[in-house]
Amino acid sequence: MPYYDRIAKQWHSITGYSGGSFKRLILNDKILSKTARIEDKAILEIGSGNGYFMKLLLKKFSGQIPSKIIISDVSKSQLELAKKHFYIPDAEYLILDVYKKFPISDNNIDLILSTMVYNEVTDKGLINAINESKRILKHGGRMITAVLHPDFIDKQVKQGVIKSGKMIANKGIRVPVLKRSMDKYREIFEKANLKSVFEDVYGNTELYNEKPVLRKIKNIPIALIIESNYQFKI
Chain contacts with ligand SAM (rule: CB under 6 A): 2, 4, 15, 19, 46-49, 73-75, 78, 96-99, 115-117, 120-121, 125, 175
Residue placing its CB nearer to ligand SAM in the complex, 42 or 175: 175
Residue placing its CB nearer to ligand SAM in the complex, 13 or 231: 13
Residue 47 Cβ vs ligand SAM, minimum distance, rounded to whole Å: 3
Q: Is 166 helix (H, G, I), strand (E, B) or coil?
A: strand
Residue placing its CB nearer to ligand SAM in the complex, 112 or 139: 112
- Among all residues, whose Cβ is closest to ligand SAM? 49
Q: Is 187 helix (H, G, I), strand (E, B) or coil?
A: helix
Alpha carbon separation from 66 to 1, 88, 101 (Å, rounded): 32, 12, 24
Spacing of C-alpha 146 from chain mean position: 5
Residue 46 Cβ vs ligand SAM, minimum distance, rounded to whole Å: 6
Residue placing its CB nearer to ligand SAM in the complex, 42 or 129: 129
| Residue 102 neighbours by CB distance under 10 Å | 23
Residues in CB range of 103: below 8 A, 6 or more apart: 94, 95, 96
Residue 44 Cβ vs ligand SAM, minimum distance, rounded to whole Å: 11
CA-wise closest residue to 34 among 1, 66, 60? 60
Residue 31 Cβ vs ligand SAM, minimum distance, rounded to whole Å: 10
